[in-house]
Structure 1
Amino acid sequence: MPSDQDPTAEQISQVKTSILQKLEKEPPAEPFHPNDLKRITESDLWITKLLQVYDFDVEKCITRLWDNLAWRKSFGVYDINETNLNQEYLNDGSIFVHNKDKDGKPLLILTINMHSKSRNLDDLLRIIVFWIEKVQRETNLDKMTIFMDMTGTGLSNLDLDFTKGIIGMIETKYPYVPNYILVHDLPFLLNAAFKVVKTFLPAEALKILKVTTKKDLDQYVDKENSLKLWGGNDDYVYKFA
Protein backbone atom coordinates (compact mmCIF):
# COMPACT_ATOMS: atom_id res chain seq x y z
CA MET A 1 0.00 0.00 0.00
CA PRO A 2 1.36 3.46 -0.80
CA SER A 3 2.40 5.47 2.24
CA ASP A 4 0.03 8.15 3.51
CA GLN A 5 3.02 10.34 4.28
CA ASP A 6 4.27 12.88 1.77
CA PRO A 7 7.83 12.80 0.48
CA THR A 8 10.11 15.66 1.40
CA ALA A 9 10.63 18.56 -0.99
CA GLU A 10 14.25 17.39 -1.31
CA GLN A 11 13.19 13.88 -2.42
CA ILE A 12 10.83 15.31 -5.03
CA SER A 13 13.53 17.67 -6.24
CA GLN A 14 16.07 14.83 -6.50
CA VAL A 15 13.75 12.82 -8.76
CA LYS A 16 12.78 15.82 -10.87
CA THR A 17 16.36 17.04 -11.30
CA SER A 18 17.71 13.59 -12.12
CA ILE A 19 15.08 12.99 -14.81
CA LEU A 20 15.63 16.42 -16.39
CA GLN A 21 19.42 16.07 -16.31
CA LYS A 22 19.24 12.62 -17.85
CA LEU A 23 17.00 14.02 -20.59
CA GLU A 24 19.71 16.53 -21.46
CA LYS A 25 22.63 14.11 -21.29
CA GLU A 26 20.98 10.96 -22.66
CA PRO A 27 17.90 12.00 -24.62
CA PRO A 28 15.79 8.99 -25.60
CA ALA A 29 15.70 7.99 -29.28
CA GLU A 30 11.97 8.65 -29.22
CA PRO A 31 11.33 11.90 -27.31
CA PHE A 32 8.99 11.57 -24.34
CA HIS A 33 5.53 13.04 -24.71
CA PRO A 34 5.40 16.77 -23.86
CA ASN A 35 2.30 16.21 -21.68
CA ASP A 36 4.28 13.82 -19.49
CA LEU A 37 7.22 16.21 -19.25
CA LYS A 38 4.76 18.91 -18.18
CA ARG A 39 3.49 16.60 -15.45
CA ILE A 40 7.05 16.51 -14.12
CA THR A 41 8.09 20.14 -14.55
CA GLU A 42 4.83 21.85 -13.59
CA SER A 43 3.58 19.62 -10.78
CA ASP A 44 4.87 17.41 -7.95
CA LEU A 45 1.83 15.11 -7.90
CA TRP A 46 3.00 12.27 -10.16
CA ILE A 47 6.43 12.10 -8.51
CA THR A 48 4.84 12.28 -5.06
CA LYS A 49 2.61 9.28 -5.81
CA LEU A 50 5.51 7.27 -7.20
CA LEU A 51 7.72 8.06 -4.21
CA GLN A 52 4.92 6.98 -1.87
CA VAL A 53 4.38 3.68 -3.66
CA TYR A 54 8.13 2.98 -3.77
CA ASP A 55 8.59 3.75 -0.06
CA PHE A 56 10.52 6.97 -0.78
CA ASP A 57 13.30 5.08 -2.58
CA VAL A 58 14.53 7.95 -4.76
CA GLU A 59 16.74 5.84 -7.05
CA LYS A 60 14.00 3.29 -7.66
CA CYS A 61 11.53 6.10 -8.36
CA ILE A 62 13.89 7.68 -10.92
CA THR A 63 14.41 4.35 -12.73
CA ARG A 64 10.71 3.45 -12.77
CA LEU A 65 9.62 6.94 -13.83
CA TRP A 66 12.08 6.94 -16.74
CA ASP A 67 10.82 3.50 -17.81
CA ASN A 68 7.24 4.72 -17.46
CA LEU A 69 7.92 7.78 -19.63
CA ALA A 70 9.40 5.55 -22.33
CA TRP A 71 6.50 3.10 -22.17
CA ARG A 72 3.86 5.85 -22.30
CA LYS A 73 5.44 7.22 -25.46
CA SER A 74 5.88 3.86 -27.19
CA PHE A 75 2.39 2.65 -26.20
CA GLY A 76 0.90 5.90 -27.50
CA VAL A 77 -1.05 6.61 -24.32
CA TYR A 78 -2.04 10.11 -25.45
CA ASP A 79 -3.06 8.90 -28.91
CA ILE A 80 -5.63 6.39 -27.63
CA ASN A 81 -9.23 7.53 -28.03
CA GLU A 82 -12.65 6.00 -28.64
CA THR A 83 -12.21 6.12 -32.43
CA ASN A 84 -9.05 4.01 -32.62
CA LEU A 85 -9.89 1.36 -30.03
CA ASN A 86 -11.30 -2.06 -30.83
CA GLN A 87 -14.96 -1.09 -31.16
CA GLU A 88 -16.29 -4.51 -30.17
CA TYR A 89 -14.38 -4.46 -26.87
CA LEU A 90 -15.26 -0.82 -26.23
CA ASN A 91 -18.98 -1.41 -26.68
CA ASP A 92 -19.60 -4.93 -25.36
CA GLY A 93 -19.34 -4.13 -21.64
CA SER A 94 -16.40 -6.43 -20.98
CA ILE A 95 -14.31 -3.53 -19.58
CA PHE A 96 -15.82 -0.27 -18.33
CA VAL A 97 -15.90 2.25 -15.50
CA HIS A 98 -19.06 2.73 -13.45
CA ASN A 99 -19.91 3.79 -9.87
CA LYS A 100 -17.56 3.99 -6.90
CA ASP A 101 -16.37 1.95 -3.95
CA LYS A 102 -17.04 2.95 -0.33
CA ASP A 103 -13.93 5.16 -0.37
CA GLY A 104 -15.36 7.10 -3.32
CA LYS A 105 -12.89 5.59 -5.82
CA PRO A 106 -14.19 4.72 -9.33
CA LEU A 107 -14.71 1.05 -10.20
CA LEU A 108 -12.89 -0.31 -13.24
CA ILE A 109 -15.07 -3.34 -13.99
CA LEU A 110 -13.78 -6.36 -15.91
CA THR A 111 -16.55 -8.77 -16.87
CA ILE A 112 -14.56 -11.99 -17.01
CA ASN A 113 -17.31 -14.26 -18.34
CA MET A 114 -17.12 -12.30 -21.61
CA HIS A 115 -13.43 -13.13 -22.04
CA SER A 116 -11.84 -15.85 -24.15
CA LYS A 117 -8.30 -16.57 -25.30
CA SER A 118 -9.29 -15.67 -28.84
CA ARG A 119 -9.57 -12.00 -27.88
CA ASN A 120 -6.63 -9.77 -28.79
CA LEU A 121 -4.54 -9.04 -25.70
CA ASP A 122 -3.03 -5.79 -27.00
CA ASP A 123 -6.46 -4.44 -27.90
CA LEU A 124 -7.77 -5.34 -24.43
CA LEU A 125 -4.84 -3.64 -22.70
CA ARG A 126 -5.44 -0.52 -24.81
CA ILE A 127 -9.05 -0.47 -23.57
CA ILE A 128 -7.84 -0.75 -19.97
CA VAL A 129 -5.31 2.07 -20.51
CA PHE A 130 -8.05 4.20 -22.12
CA TRP A 131 -10.27 3.90 -19.04
CA ILE A 132 -7.47 4.34 -16.49
CA GLU A 133 -6.15 7.43 -18.28
CA LYS A 134 -9.65 8.89 -18.60
CA VAL A 135 -10.32 8.52 -14.88
CA GLN A 136 -6.82 9.72 -13.97
CA ARG A 137 -7.41 12.94 -15.92
CA GLU A 138 -10.86 13.45 -14.36
CA THR A 139 -9.75 12.74 -10.77
CA ASN A 140 -6.26 14.28 -10.77
CA LEU A 141 -4.44 10.94 -10.48
CA ASP A 142 -6.74 9.50 -7.80
CA LYS A 143 -7.00 5.79 -7.08
CA MET A 144 -9.43 3.30 -8.63
CA THR A 145 -10.69 -0.11 -7.57
CA ILE A 146 -10.14 -2.94 -10.03
CA PHE A 147 -13.36 -5.00 -9.95
CA MET A 148 -12.97 -8.48 -11.45
CA ASP A 149 -16.55 -9.63 -11.93
CA MET A 150 -16.31 -13.43 -11.98
CA THR A 151 -20.08 -14.01 -12.06
CA GLY A 152 -20.87 -16.97 -14.32
CA THR A 153 -17.23 -17.44 -15.28
CA GLY A 154 -16.11 -20.85 -16.53
CA LEU A 155 -12.87 -22.54 -17.53
CA SER A 156 -13.28 -21.30 -21.12
CA ASN A 157 -12.93 -17.72 -19.82
CA LEU A 158 -9.64 -18.48 -18.11
CA ASP A 159 -6.64 -16.77 -19.71
CA LEU A 160 -3.44 -16.47 -17.71
CA ASP A 161 -1.79 -14.26 -20.35
CA PHE A 162 -4.63 -11.72 -20.00
CA THR A 163 -4.40 -11.87 -16.21
CA LYS A 164 -0.62 -11.48 -16.26
CA GLY A 165 -0.94 -8.62 -18.75
CA ILE A 166 -3.29 -6.69 -16.49
CA ILE A 167 -1.26 -7.37 -13.35
CA GLY A 168 2.02 -6.44 -15.06
CA MET A 169 0.62 -3.23 -16.47
CA ILE A 170 -0.85 -2.05 -13.19
CA GLU A 171 2.19 -3.09 -11.17
CA THR A 172 4.75 -1.36 -13.40
CA LYS A 173 2.84 1.44 -15.17
CA TYR A 174 0.12 2.42 -12.67
CA PRO A 175 1.38 1.20 -9.28
CA TYR A 176 -0.30 4.06 -7.40
CA VAL A 177 -3.73 3.49 -8.98
CA PRO A 178 -5.35 0.47 -7.22
CA ASN A 179 -7.37 1.16 -4.10
CA TYR A 180 -8.60 -2.44 -3.94
CA ILE A 181 -8.54 -5.39 -6.31
CA LEU A 182 -11.92 -7.07 -5.81
CA VAL A 183 -12.47 -10.57 -7.18
CA HIS A 184 -16.23 -10.98 -7.02
CA ASP A 185 -18.28 -14.19 -7.05
CA LEU A 186 -15.38 -16.53 -7.83
CA PRO A 187 -16.81 -19.92 -8.91
CA PHE A 188 -15.62 -22.88 -6.88
CA LEU A 189 -14.19 -24.65 -9.93
CA LEU A 190 -11.78 -21.73 -10.49
CA ASN A 191 -10.31 -21.79 -6.98
CA ALA A 192 -7.21 -23.71 -8.09
CA ALA A 193 -6.62 -21.34 -11.00
CA PHE A 194 -7.03 -18.37 -8.67
CA LYS A 195 -4.30 -19.74 -6.40
CA VAL A 196 -1.98 -19.77 -9.43
CA VAL A 197 -2.94 -16.17 -10.29
CA LYS A 198 -2.12 -15.06 -6.74
CA THR A 199 1.46 -16.25 -7.23
CA PHE A 200 1.89 -13.60 -9.96
CA LEU A 201 0.84 -10.80 -7.65
CA PRO A 202 3.38 -8.62 -5.85
CA ALA A 203 3.11 -8.46 -2.05
CA GLU A 204 1.57 -4.98 -2.18
CA ALA A 205 -1.24 -6.19 -4.44
CA LEU A 206 -1.99 -9.16 -2.17
CA LYS A 207 -2.66 -6.71 0.67
CA ILE A 208 -5.47 -5.02 -1.28
CA LEU A 209 -6.84 -8.17 -2.96
CA LYS A 210 -10.26 -9.12 -1.61
CA VAL A 211 -12.48 -11.99 -2.70
CA THR A 212 -16.13 -11.00 -2.29
CA THR A 213 -19.56 -12.59 -2.54
CA LYS A 214 -23.04 -11.08 -2.64
CA LYS A 215 -23.12 -11.44 1.16
CA ASP A 216 -20.06 -9.33 1.92
CA LEU A 217 -19.51 -7.06 -1.11
CA ASP A 218 -21.09 -4.17 0.81
CA GLN A 219 -17.92 -4.00 2.95
CA TYR A 220 -16.28 -2.44 -0.12
CA VAL A 221 -19.12 -1.29 -2.42
CA ASP A 222 -22.44 -0.17 -0.99
CA LYS A 223 -25.80 -1.42 -2.36
CA GLU A 224 -26.49 1.77 -4.34
CA ASN A 225 -23.19 1.40 -6.19
CA SER A 226 -23.55 -2.36 -6.73
CA LEU A 227 -25.16 -3.78 -9.84
CA LYS A 228 -28.25 -5.97 -9.35
CA LEU A 229 -26.15 -8.83 -10.75
CA TRP A 230 -23.91 -8.48 -7.68
CA GLY A 231 -26.84 -8.30 -5.25
CA GLY A 232 -27.06 -4.51 -5.24
CA ASN A 233 -29.72 -1.97 -6.24
CA ASP A 234 -28.23 -0.54 -9.46
CA ASP A 235 -29.95 -1.76 -12.63
CA TYR A 236 -27.42 -0.03 -14.91
CA VAL A 237 -26.71 -1.63 -18.28
CA TYR A 238 -23.43 -0.55 -19.88
CA LYS A 239 -23.53 1.51 -23.01
CA PHE A 240 -20.50 3.46 -24.20
CA ALA A 241 -21.48 7.10 -24.39
Structure 2
Amino acid sequence: MPKGVQPTAEQVNEVKTRFLQNLAAEPPAVPFHPSDLARIKDSDVWITQLLEAYKLDVEKAIIRLRQNCEWRQSFGTNDINETNVNQEYLNDGEIFVHNQDKDGMPLLIVNMSKHNKNKNQEDLIRVMVYWVERIQHETNYSKKITLFMDMTDAGLGNLDLDYIKAIIGLFETKYPNAPNYIVVHDLPFLLNAAFKIVKGFMPPEALEILKVTTKKDINEYVDKDNCLKVWGGNDDYVYKFQAK
Protein backbone atom coordinates (compact mmCIF):
# COMPACT_ATOMS: atom_id res chain seq x y z
CA MET A 1 0.00 0.00 0.00
CA PRO A 2 1.46 3.39 -0.90
CA LYS A 3 1.62 5.88 1.92
CA GLY A 4 -0.47 9.00 1.86
CA VAL A 5 0.98 12.45 1.36
CA GLN A 6 3.84 12.94 3.80
CA PRO A 7 3.50 15.85 6.23
CA THR A 8 6.25 18.45 6.44
CA ALA A 9 8.41 18.94 9.52
CA GLU A 10 6.62 22.27 10.02
CA GLN A 11 3.21 20.58 10.11
CA VAL A 12 4.43 17.96 12.59
CA ASN A 13 5.96 20.65 14.80
CA GLU A 14 2.78 22.73 14.67
CA VAL A 15 0.69 19.79 15.91
CA LYS A 16 3.21 18.98 18.63
CA THR A 17 3.62 22.58 19.82
CA ARG A 18 -0.08 23.40 19.85
CA PHE A 19 -0.99 20.10 21.52
CA LEU A 20 1.48 20.76 24.34
CA GLN A 21 0.35 24.40 24.67
CA ASN A 22 -3.29 23.28 24.90
CA LEU A 23 -2.32 20.63 27.44
CA ALA A 24 -0.61 23.25 29.63
CA ALA A 25 -3.55 25.66 29.31
CA GLU A 26 -6.25 23.02 29.84
CA PRO A 27 -4.80 20.02 31.67
CA PRO A 28 -7.01 16.91 31.76
CA ALA A 29 -8.73 15.92 35.01
CA VAL A 30 -6.63 12.76 35.05
CA PRO A 31 -3.08 13.23 33.71
CA PHE A 32 -2.20 11.46 30.48
CA HIS A 33 0.07 8.44 30.67
CA PRO A 34 3.78 9.38 30.77
CA SER A 35 4.52 6.90 27.96
CA ASP A 36 2.08 8.65 25.64
CA LEU A 37 3.46 12.09 26.47
CA ALA A 38 6.99 10.79 25.88
CA ARG A 39 5.95 9.43 22.48
CA ILE A 40 4.62 12.85 21.52
CA LYS A 41 7.57 14.85 22.87
CA ASP A 42 10.43 12.56 21.84
CA SER A 43 9.25 11.20 18.49
CA ASP A 44 7.39 12.41 15.41
CA VAL A 45 5.97 9.02 14.40
CA TRP A 46 2.55 9.22 16.08
CA ILE A 47 1.85 12.77 14.88
CA THR A 48 3.12 11.95 11.37
CA GLN A 49 0.77 8.96 11.19
CA LEU A 50 -2.21 11.03 12.36
CA LEU A 51 -1.47 13.73 9.78
CA GLU A 52 -1.25 11.03 7.08
CA ALA A 53 -4.53 9.50 8.23
CA TYR A 54 -6.30 12.86 8.20
CA LYS A 55 -4.80 14.07 4.93
CA LEU A 56 -2.59 16.73 6.54
CA ASP A 57 -5.48 18.35 8.46
CA VAL A 58 -3.55 19.93 11.34
CA GLU A 59 -6.66 20.90 13.34
CA LYS A 60 -8.11 17.39 13.14
CA ALA A 61 -4.77 15.82 14.10
CA ILE A 62 -4.52 18.01 17.23
CA ILE A 63 -8.08 17.17 18.30
CA ARG A 64 -7.61 13.45 17.63
CA LEU A 65 -4.28 13.33 19.45
CA ARG A 66 -5.88 14.70 22.60
CA GLN A 67 -8.89 12.39 22.25
CA ASN A 68 -6.57 9.42 21.79
CA CYS A 69 -4.57 10.32 24.90
CA GLU A 70 -7.83 10.61 26.87
CA TRP A 71 -9.04 7.24 25.59
CA ARG A 72 -5.70 5.53 26.25
CA GLN A 73 -5.69 6.88 29.81
CA SER A 74 -9.27 5.80 30.57
CA PHE A 75 -8.95 2.43 28.79
CA GLY A 76 -5.63 1.67 30.49
CA THR A 77 -4.07 0.96 27.11
CA ASN A 78 -0.46 1.27 28.22
CA ASP A 79 -1.02 -1.20 31.06
CA ILE A 80 -2.77 -3.94 29.06
CA ASN A 81 -0.82 -7.19 28.99
CA GLU A 82 -1.44 -10.92 28.74
CA THR A 83 -2.23 -11.19 32.48
CA ASN A 84 -5.05 -8.64 32.65
CA VAL A 85 -7.19 -9.44 29.61
CA ASN A 86 -9.86 -12.13 29.42
CA GLN A 87 -7.86 -15.37 29.43
CA GLU A 88 -10.53 -17.41 27.66
CA TYR A 89 -10.65 -14.94 24.77
CA LEU A 90 -6.86 -14.68 24.63
CA ASN A 91 -6.58 -18.45 24.22
CA ASP A 92 -9.63 -19.46 22.17
CA GLY A 93 -8.26 -18.36 18.79
CA GLU A 94 -10.91 -15.81 17.82
CA ILE A 95 -8.34 -12.98 17.76
CA PHE A 96 -4.65 -13.53 17.15
CA VAL A 97 -1.64 -12.37 15.16
CA HIS A 98 0.14 -14.68 12.75
CA ASN A 99 2.16 -14.31 9.53
CA GLN A 100 2.10 -11.28 7.24
CA ASP A 101 0.61 -9.90 4.05
CA LYS A 102 2.52 -9.40 0.78
CA ASP A 103 3.71 -5.99 2.00
CA GLY A 104 5.29 -7.58 5.08
CA MET A 105 2.62 -6.23 7.44
CA PRO A 106 1.43 -8.47 10.31
CA LEU A 107 -1.96 -10.16 9.99
CA LEU A 108 -4.37 -9.47 12.86
CA ILE A 109 -6.79 -12.34 12.34
CA VAL A 110 -10.39 -12.37 13.58
CA ASN A 111 -11.84 -15.86 13.19
CA MET A 112 -15.54 -15.08 13.05
CA SER A 113 -16.55 -18.75 13.18
CA LYS A 114 -15.46 -18.69 16.85
CA HIS A 115 -17.58 -15.64 17.70
CA ASN A 116 -20.99 -15.49 19.31
CA LYS A 117 -23.06 -12.66 20.76
CA ASN A 118 -22.79 -14.05 24.29
CA LYS A 119 -19.16 -13.01 24.46
CA ASN A 120 -18.39 -9.76 26.27
CA GLN A 121 -17.69 -7.16 23.60
CA GLU A 122 -15.51 -4.91 25.76
CA ASP A 123 -13.35 -7.89 26.76
CA LEU A 124 -12.93 -8.84 23.09
CA ILE A 125 -11.91 -5.29 22.17
CA ARG A 126 -9.38 -5.32 25.03
CA VAL A 127 -7.85 -8.48 23.55
CA MET A 128 -7.72 -6.77 20.16
CA VAL A 129 -6.07 -3.69 21.67
CA TYR A 130 -3.57 -6.00 23.41
CA TRP A 131 -2.54 -7.44 20.02
CA VAL A 132 -2.40 -4.07 18.26
CA GLU A 133 -0.25 -2.59 21.02
CA ARG A 134 1.97 -5.67 21.04
CA ILE A 135 2.56 -5.39 17.28
CA GLN A 136 3.27 -1.68 17.53
CA HIS A 137 5.77 -2.11 20.35
CA GLU A 138 7.51 -5.05 18.66
CA THR A 139 7.86 -3.12 15.39
CA ASN A 140 8.63 0.22 17.06
CA TYR A 141 5.45 1.68 15.52
CA SER A 142 6.96 1.25 12.06
CA LYS A 143 4.49 -1.24 10.54
CA LYS A 144 0.86 -1.12 9.58
CA ILE A 145 -1.46 -4.04 10.29
CA THR A 146 -3.73 -6.00 7.97
CA LEU A 147 -7.03 -6.73 9.69
CA PHE A 148 -7.97 -10.17 8.37
CA MET A 149 -11.64 -10.99 8.97
CA ASP A 150 -11.72 -14.75 8.42
CA MET A 151 -15.31 -15.66 7.56
CA THR A 152 -14.53 -19.33 6.79
CA ASP A 153 -17.35 -21.52 8.14
CA ALA A 154 -19.05 -18.51 9.79
CA GLY A 155 -22.83 -18.59 9.87
CA LEU A 156 -25.74 -16.45 11.00
CA GLY A 157 -25.10 -17.52 14.60
CA ASN A 158 -21.66 -15.88 14.45
CA LEU A 159 -22.96 -12.63 13.03
CA ASP A 160 -22.68 -9.67 15.40
CA LEU A 161 -23.00 -6.29 13.70
CA ASP A 162 -22.39 -4.35 16.93
CA TYR A 163 -19.09 -6.17 17.40
CA ILE A 164 -18.00 -5.53 13.81
CA LYS A 165 -18.96 -1.86 14.25
CA ALA A 166 -16.82 -1.71 17.39
CA ILE A 167 -13.81 -3.16 15.54
CA ILE A 168 -14.21 -0.69 12.68
CA GLY A 169 -14.65 2.16 15.17
CA LEU A 170 -11.50 1.14 17.01
CA PHE A 171 -9.40 1.46 13.86
CA GLU A 172 -11.24 4.51 12.57
CA THR A 173 -10.72 6.63 15.68
CA LYS A 174 -8.06 5.04 17.92
CA TYR A 175 -5.65 3.61 15.33
CA PRO A 176 -6.61 5.52 12.16
CA ASN A 177 -3.35 4.98 10.30
CA ALA A 178 -2.77 1.39 11.43
CA PRO A 179 -4.60 -0.67 8.78
CA ASN A 180 -2.74 -1.65 5.62
CA TYR A 181 -5.69 -3.65 4.28
CA ILE A 182 -8.98 -4.83 5.70
CA VAL A 183 -9.45 -8.30 4.22
CA VAL A 184 -12.81 -10.06 4.44
CA HIS A 185 -12.08 -13.64 3.44
CA ASP A 186 -14.41 -16.40 2.29
CA LEU A 187 -17.67 -14.58 3.01
CA PRO A 188 -20.52 -17.12 2.96
CA PHE A 189 -23.40 -16.32 0.61
CA LEU A 190 -25.78 -16.29 3.60
CA LEU A 191 -23.94 -13.27 5.03
CA ASN A 192 -23.87 -11.16 1.85
CA ALA A 193 -26.82 -9.00 2.93
CA ALA A 194 -25.24 -8.36 6.33
CA PHE A 195 -21.96 -7.44 4.67
CA LYS A 196 -23.73 -4.73 2.66
CA ILE A 197 -24.91 -3.25 5.98
CA VAL A 198 -21.35 -3.38 7.32
CA LYS A 199 -20.03 -1.53 4.26
CA GLY A 200 -22.66 1.13 4.89
CA PHE A 201 -21.12 2.17 8.20
CA MET A 202 -17.48 1.95 7.10
CA PRO A 203 -15.72 5.29 6.53
CA PRO A 204 -14.46 6.08 3.00
CA GLU A 205 -10.83 5.50 4.06
CA ALA A 206 -11.68 1.96 5.18
CA LEU A 207 -13.60 1.19 1.98
CA GLU A 208 -10.52 2.20 -0.02
CA ILE A 209 -8.45 -0.58 1.60
CA LEU A 210 -11.26 -3.16 1.92
CA LYS A 211 -10.57 -6.37 -0.01
CA VAL A 212 -13.07 -9.23 -0.26
CA THR A 213 -11.23 -12.45 -1.09
CA THR A 214 -11.80 -16.13 -1.79
CA LYS A 215 -9.36 -19.04 -2.05
CA LYS A 216 -8.95 -18.12 -5.75
CA ASP A 217 -7.60 -14.61 -5.21
CA ILE A 218 -6.32 -14.45 -1.62
CA ASN A 219 -2.73 -14.71 -2.89
CA GLU A 220 -3.00 -11.21 -4.35
CA TYR A 221 -2.68 -10.01 -0.74
CA VAL A 222 -1.26 -12.94 1.25
CA ASP A 223 1.12 -15.41 -0.39
CA LYS A 224 0.65 -19.17 -0.10
CA ASP A 225 3.27 -19.68 2.61
CA ASN A 226 1.58 -17.04 4.79
CA CYS A 227 -1.93 -18.43 4.17
CA LEU A 228 -3.38 -20.98 6.53
CA LYS A 229 -4.40 -24.29 4.96
CA VAL A 230 -8.06 -23.47 5.58
CA TRP A 231 -7.60 -20.42 3.31
CA GLY A 232 -6.05 -22.60 0.60
CA GLY A 233 -2.44 -21.97 1.63
CA ASN A 234 0.52 -23.98 2.86
CA ASP A 235 0.59 -23.09 6.57
CA ASP A 236 -0.83 -25.74 8.90
CA TYR A 237 -0.45 -23.50 11.98
CA VAL A 238 -2.87 -24.03 14.86
CA TYR A 239 -3.16 -21.08 17.22
CA LYS A 240 -1.72 -21.40 20.70
CA PHE A 241 -1.09 -18.25 22.69
CA GLN A 242 2.57 -17.40 23.26
CA ALA A 243 3.51 -14.66 25.70
CA LYS A 244 6.03 -12.03 24.61
Query: What TM-score comes out, normalization by structure 2 length?
Result: 0.97
Asked whether the 8 Å contact 1:2–1:54 carries over to 2, the reply is no
RMSD: 1.0
Could you tell me which residue of structure 2 aligns to residue 124 of structure 1?
A: 124
| Structure 2: distance between partners of 1:2 and 1:53 | 13
| Structure 1: distance between partners of 2:6 and 2:171 | 22
Could you tell me how far 1:2 is from its partner in structure 2? 7.9
| Structure 2: distance between partners of 1:2 and 1:28 | 36
| Structure 2: distance between partners of 1:104 and 1:2 | 13
| Matched ranges for 1:29-108 at <5 A | 29-108=29-108
SS in 2 for 1:51: helix
Could you tell me how far 1:4 is from its partner in structure 2? 3.4
Could you tell me which residue of structure 2 aligns to residue 160 of structure 1?
A: 161
Asked whether the 8 Å contact 2:4–2:55 carries over to 1, the reply is no
- Deviations, residues 144-202 of structure 1 (Å, cap 9, x unaligned): 10000000000010101100100111100001000000000000010000000000100
* Counterpart amino acid of residue 167 in structure 2: I
Could you tell me which residue of structure 2 aligns to residue 5 of structure 1?
A: 5
* Counterpart amino acid of residue 124 in structure 1: L
SS in 1 for 2:172: helix
Identity %: 66
| Structure 1: distance between partners of 2:183 and 2:48 | 26
Asked whether the 8 Å contact 1:3–1:55 carries over to 2, the reply is no
| Structure 2: distance between partners of 1:112 and 1:228 | 17
Structure 1 residues 170 and 126, CA, compared in 2 at 3 Å: closer, same or farther?
same
| Structure 1: distance between partners of 2:180 and 2:58 | 23
Q: How many residues align?
A: 241
- Deviations, residues 185-230 of structure 1 (Å, cap 9, x unaligned): 0000100000000001000100110110001000000000000010
| Matched ranges for 1:9-20 at <5 A | 9-20=9-20
Could you tell me how far 1:37 is from its partner in structure 2? 0.4
* Counterpart amino acid of residue 188 in structure 2: P
| Structure 1: distance between partners of 2:6 and 2:201 | 29
* Counterpart amino acid of residue 31 in structure 2: P
Asked whether the 8 Å contact 1:15–1:58 carries over to 2, the reply is yes
* Counterpart amino acid of residue 160 in structure 2: D
Could you tell me which residue of structure 1 aligns to residue 226 of structure 2?
A: 225
* Counterpart amino acid of residue 212 in structure 1: T
| Structure 2: distance between partners of 1:197 and 1:153 | 16
- Deviations, residues 42-75 of structure 1 (Å, cap 9, x unaligned): 0111100110111111001000111001000000
Asked whether the 8 Å contact 2:226–2:233 carries over to 1, the reply is yes
| Structure 1: distance between partners of 2:79 and 2:38 | 17
Could you tell me how far 1:140 is from its partner in structure 2? 2.1
| Structure 2: distance between partners of 1:39 and 1:96 | 26
| Structure 1: distance between partners of 2:78 and 2:136 | 12
Could you tell me which residue of structure 2 aligns to residue 180 of structure 1?
A: 181
Asked whether the 8 Å contact 1:2–1:52 carries over to 2, the reply is no
SS in 2 for 1:180: strand
| Structure 2: distance between partners of 1:127 and 1:162 | 13
* Counterpart amino acid of residue 157 in structure 2: S
Q: Structure 1: give runs of 5+ residues left out of the alignment.
A: none
Asked whether the 8 Å contact 2:111–2:150 carries over to 1, the reply is yes
- Deviations, residues 11-37 of structure 1 (Å, cap 9, x unaligned): 111100111111111000010000000
| Structure 2: distance between partners of 1:82 and 1:137 | 14
Asked whether the 8 Å contact 2:32–2:69 carries over to 1, the reply is yes
| Structure 1: distance between partners of 2:74 and 2:44 | 24
Could you tell me how far 1:139 is from its partner in structure 2? 1.2
Asked whether the 8 Å contact 1:2–1:176 carries over to 2, the reply is no
| Structure 1: distance between partners of 2:229 and 2:2 | 32
